[in-house]
């Protein structure tokens, strides 16, 4: 049986007892309801009242937590991608001491990202439609995919330098090109691929993307020895350790900044 934000059913003498749910639980219910409704009805076709009803919470609590309908839309769309990138970075950290193959590293990003975009296809399409037709209300969320991908920039630079693959700026761009390939295939596969039995399996599709990206970043194969992209550009262990230390410091600063931002948001919500 469902419960409201603060009520939970009770037995006994016929009187309901109050039991406050955890804030994280309420957030999860709201985000899940928002993802369902935004995905099926679009941004303009979804109201805060409908989201509150499906999540079984009071509508004002949505705006206290997310600020606005646009803020909730942003969180609903980006939260699964944020979780996926966090998971990928955790996997990346595990292979720092014993590096995975380039193909293995690419596959650990492509496969779950393709599955994620496919799962949330309608939600991402709703985001694209909202930017096209309701730019004034949701345009502030446009840069945030880049903000998510920036979390991967340092790791991409470390790996590319360690393997002698690319310059730093190339590594940042490669992250975005690879992401665009994966998202494009997941979003447009119905248009790009034949239907029915002739359609390639998801495994075949991801294998092809992994192959293309892996060959694309392995530019040193075609570069002359000693060039900027050749084998002599591989990173020394000392420099790698220095970069990893800087990465840890940068991640620490990012966490502190995120906590401070959340504190300010909470203060702003309380003021209203």
Q: Tell me which of 44-58, 87-101, 194-208 is least confident.
A: 87-101
Residue pair 18/7 in contact by the 8 Å Cβ criterion? yes
Looking at 3.90.480.20, 1.10.10.60, 1.10.3720.10, 3.60.21.10, the CATH number of the domain 1-67 comes to 1.10.10.60
As beta bridge partners, residue 18 has: 7
Domain ranges of the chain: 1-67, 68-235
Mean of per-residue pLDDT scores for the chain: 76
Check residues 161 and 46 and name the one with the higher pLDDT: 46
Look at 35 and 21; give whichever has higher pLDDT.
Answer: 35
CA-CA distances (angstroms) from residue 248 to 81, 229, 254?
22, 26, 10
Angstrom distance (rounded) from CA 131 to CA 77: 13
Residues 179 and 81: their CA atoms lie apart, in Å, by 11
Helix (H, G, I), strand (E, B) or coil at 222: coil
Asked if the domains at 1-67 and 68-235 fall in one CATH topology, the answer is no
Residue 2 has pLDDT above 70, yes or no: no
What pLDDT score was predicted for residue 73?
87
- 242 confidence band (pLDDT: 50, 70, 90): low
Which among 15-29, 85-99, 220-234 has the top mean pLDDT? 85-99
Q: Which two three-digit tokens encode residue 141? A: 């969320």
Per-residue pLDDT at 7 exceeds 90: no
3-state secondary structure of 7: strand
More confident residue, 2 or 52: 52
The string of pLDDT tens digits covering residues 63-77 is: 999 988 888 888 888
pLDDT for 39: 85
Q: Which residues pair with 7 in a beta bridge?
A: 18
Do residues 79 and 115 make contact, with C-beta atoms less than 8 angstroms apart? no
DSSP code of residue 201: P
- Tell me if 56 sits within 8 A of 2, measured CB to CB: yes
Quote the tokens at residue 235.
């990173």
Selected from 3.20.20.100, 1.10.357.10, 3.40.50.300, 3.40.50.10440, the CATH number assigned to the domain covering 68-235 reads 1.10.357.10
Smallest Cα–Cα separation from 110: which of 187, 217, 208, 219? 208
For residue 121, give both structure tokens.
């296809």
Residues of the chain with pLDDT > 90, as a percent, come to: 23
CA distances to 97, 118, 260 from 236, rounded to whole Å, are: 13, 39, 36
Distances (CA, A) of 94 to 88, 89, 233: 10, 9, 24
More confident residue, 162 or 4: 162
Helix (H) or strand (E) run with residue 17 in it: strand 17-18
In the chain, the largest separation of any two C-alpha atoms, in whole Å, equals 83
Distance, in Å, from the CA atom of 77 to the CA atom of 113, rounded to the nearest integer, reads 14
Secondary-structure percent of the chain, ordered helix, strand, coil, rounded to 5: 75, 0, 25
pLDDT at 17 (0 to 100): 45
Look at residues 126, 131, 138, 119 and name the one whose alpha carbon lies nearest to residue 45.
126
Q: Which residue has the higher pLDDT, 14 or 41?
A: 41
The better pLDDT of the pair 182, 14 is held by 182
Q: What integer is the mean pLDDT of 42-54?
A: 90
**Pairwise CA distance, residues 8 & 29, whole Å:** 15
pLDDT of residue 138: 57
């Amino acid at each position: 049986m469902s419960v409201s934000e603060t009520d939970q059913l009770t037995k006994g003498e016929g009187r309901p007892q109050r039991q406050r749910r955890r804030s994280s639980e309420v957030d999860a219910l709201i985000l899940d309801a928002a993802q369902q409704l935004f995905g099926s009805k679009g941004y303009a076709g979804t109201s805060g009242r409908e989201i509150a009803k499906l999540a079984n919470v009071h509508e004002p609590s949505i705006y206290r937590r997310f600020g606005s309908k646009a803020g909730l839309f942003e969180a609903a769309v980006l939260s699964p991608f944020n979780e996926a990138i966090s998971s990928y970075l955790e996997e990346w950290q595990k292979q720092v001491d014993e590096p995975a193959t380039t193909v293995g590293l690419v596959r650990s990003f492509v496969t779950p990202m393709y599955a994620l975009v496919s799962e949330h296809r309608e939600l991402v399409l709703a985001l694209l439609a909202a930017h096209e037709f309701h730019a004034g209300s949701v345009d502030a969320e446009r840069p945030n995919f880049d903000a998510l991908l920036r979390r991967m920039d340092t790791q991409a630079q470390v790996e590319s330098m360690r393997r002698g693959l690319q310059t730093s700026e190339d590594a940042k761009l490669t992250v975005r090109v690879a992401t665009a390939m994966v998202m494009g295939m997941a979003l447009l596969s119905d248009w790009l691929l034949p239907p029915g039995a002739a359609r390639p399996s998801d495994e075949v599709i991801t294998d092809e993307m992994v192959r293309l990206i892996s060959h694309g970043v392995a530019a040193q194969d075609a570069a002359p020895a000693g060039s900027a992209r050749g084998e002599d550009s591989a990173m020394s262990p000392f420099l790698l350790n220095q970069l990893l230390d800087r990465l840890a410091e940068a991640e620490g600063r990012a966490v502190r900044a995120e906590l401070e931002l959340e504190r300010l948001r909470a203060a702003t919500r309380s003021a209203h």
